[in-house]
Chains A and B, each alone.
Chain A
Amino acid sequence: MVQKIETFYEVMRRQGITRRSFLKYCSLAAGALGLSPAFAPKIAHAMETKPRIPVLWLHGLECTCCSESFIRSAHPLAKDVILSMISLDFDNVIMAAAGEQALSIIDETVEKYDGNFLLAVEGNAPLGEEGMYCISGGKPFVEELTRVSQHAKAIISWGSCASWGCVQAARPNPTTATPTHKVPGIGDKPIIKVPGCPPIAEVMTAVITYMVTFDKLPELDNQGRPKMFYSQRIHDKCYRRGHFDAGQFVEKFDDEGARKGYCLYKVGCKGPTTYNACSTIKWNGGLSFPIEAGHPCIGCSEEDFWDKGDFYDRLTKVSGFGIDANADQIGAAAAGVVAGAAAIHAGASAIKRIASKKEDA
Chain B
Amino acid sequence: MTDASTTTRKQEAVYVYQAPVRLWHWVQAFAILALGVTGYLIGSPPPSLGGQASDWFLFGWIRYIHFVSAWIVIVGFLFRIYWAVIGNEQVREIFVPSFWRPSFWGGVWHEILWYLMLAKEPRKYVGHNPLAVLAMHFLYVWGIIFMIVTGLALYGEGTGMDSWQYRWFSSWVLPLLGQSQGVHTWHHLGMWVLVVFVIVHVYVAVREDIMSRQSIISSMISGWRMFKDDRPVDRD
Return chain B residues, CB-CB under 8 Å to A346: 203, 207
Kindly provide the distance from the CB of A247 to the nearest chain B CB, expressed in whole angstroms: 3
The answer to the question of B25 belonging to the interface, with a C-beta cut-off of 8 Å to chain A, is no
Residue of A nearest to B162 (CB): A231
Main secondary structure of the interface of B (DSSP, over half): helix
Q: A328-B44, A349-B117 are in contact. Are A233 and B157 (CB under 8 A)?
A: yes
Residue of B nearest to A352 (CB): B117
* Number of interface residues, chain A, beta carbon within 8 A: 58
Binds B, one of A73-81, A166-174, A202-210, A300-308: A300-308
Return chain B residues, CB-CB under 8 Å to A265: 45
Contact between B207 and A266, CB atoms less than 8 A apart: no
Q: A286-304 CB contact bits vs B (8 Å, 1 = yes)?
A: 0000000000000100111
Bound form: Cα–Cα A310–B171 in Å = 26
The answer to the question of B161 belonging to the interface, with a C-beta cut-off of 8 Å to chain A, is yes
Bound form: Cα–Cα A266–B178 in Å = 21
Q: Which of B1, B117, B175, B188 contacts A328, CB < 8 Å?
A: B188
Contact between A315 and B188, CB atoms less than 8 A apart: yes
Return chain A residues, CB-CB under 8 Å to B47: 251
Bound form: Cα–Cα A211–B64 in Å = 41
Contact between B161 and A231, CB atoms less than 8 A apart: yes
The answer to the question of A245 belonging to the interface, with a C-beta cut-off of 8 Å to chain B, is yes
Contact between B161 and A244, CB atoms less than 8 A apart: no
Return chain A residues, CB-CB under 8 Å to B193: 331
Residue of B nearest to A222 (CB): B171
Binds A, one of B48-56, B85-93, B104-112, B224-232: B48-56
The answer to the question of A223 belonging to the interface, with a C-beta cut-off of 8 Å to chain B, is yes
Q: A315-356 CB contact bits vs B (8 Å, 1 = yes)?
A: 110100000001110111011001100100110110011001
The answer to the question of A249 belonging to the interface, with a C-beta cut-off of 8 Å to chain B, is yes
The answer to the question of A215 belonging to the interface, with a C-beta cut-off of 8 Å to chain B, is no
Q: A205-241 CB contact bits vs B (8 Å, 1 = yes)?
A: 0000000000000000111000100011100100000
Contact between B179 and A304, CB atoms less than 8 A apart: yes
Bound form: Cα–Cα A299–B182 in Å = 12
Q: Which of A251, A316, A331, A338 contacts B184, CB < 8 Å?
A: A316
Q: Which of A246, A272, A327 contacts B188, CB < 8 Å?
A: A327
The answer to the question of B8 belonging to the interface, with a C-beta cut-off of 8 Å to chain A, is no
The answer to the question of B60 belonging to the interface, with a C-beta cut-off of 8 Å to chain A, is yes
Contact between B53 and A273, CB atoms less than 8 A apart: no
Contact between A256 and B50, CB atoms less than 8 A apart: yes
Return chain A residues, CB-CB under 8 Å to B59: 244-247
Q: A345-B115, A360-B3 are in contact. Are A328 and B43 (CB under 8 A)?
A: yes
Q: A223-B175, A328-B188, A332-B192 are in contact. Are A245 and B1 (CB under 8 A)?
A: no
Contact between B43 and A314, CB atoms less than 8 A apart: yes
Kindly provide the distance from the CB of B164 to the nearest chain A CB, expressed in whole angstroms: 14
Residue of B nearest to A302 (CB): B179
Kindly provide the distance from the CB of A276 to the nearest chain B CB, expressed in whole angstroms: 12
Binds A, one of B15-23, B65-73, B126-134, B194-202: B194-202
Q: A221-B161, A335-B195, A342-B203 are in contact. Are A247 and B180 (CB under 8 A)?
A: no
Contact between A247 and B49, CB atoms less than 8 A apart: yes
Return chain A residues, CB-CB under 8 Å to B199: 335, 338-339, 342
Contact between A334 and B192, CB atoms less than 8 A apart: yes
The answer to the question of A243 belonging to the interface, with a C-beta cut-off of 8 Å to chain B, is yes
Q: B16-47 CB contact bits vs A (8 Å, 1 = yes)?
A: 00000000000000000000000010011111
Contact between B182 and A246, CB atoms less than 8 A apart: no
Contact between A248 and B3, CB atoms less than 8 A apart: no
Contact between A353 and B210, CB atoms less than 8 A apart: yes
Bound form: Cα–Cα A197–B55 in Å = 37
Contact between A266 and B48, CB atoms less than 8 A apart: yes
Return chain B residues, CB-CB under 8 Å to A328: 40, 43-44, 188, 192
- Segment 97-125 of B: residues with Cβ below 8 Å from A: 115, 117
The answer to the question of A131 belonging to the interface, with a C-beta cut-off of 8 Å to chain B, is no
Contact between A327 and B189, CB atoms less than 8 A apart: yes
Contact between A360 and B203, CB atoms less than 8 A apart: no
12 intermolecular pairs with C-beta atoms under 8 Å apart: A223-B175, A233-B180, A247-B48, A248-B49, A249-B48, A251-B48, A272-B180, A303-B179, A326-B185, A326-B188, A357-B3, A360-B2
With A236-B158, A247-B62, A304-B178 given, can you name 9 additional A-B contacts, CB distance below 8 Å?
A: A222-B171, A246-B54, A247-B49, A262-B48, A304-B179, A331-B188, A334-B196, A335-B196, A356-B1
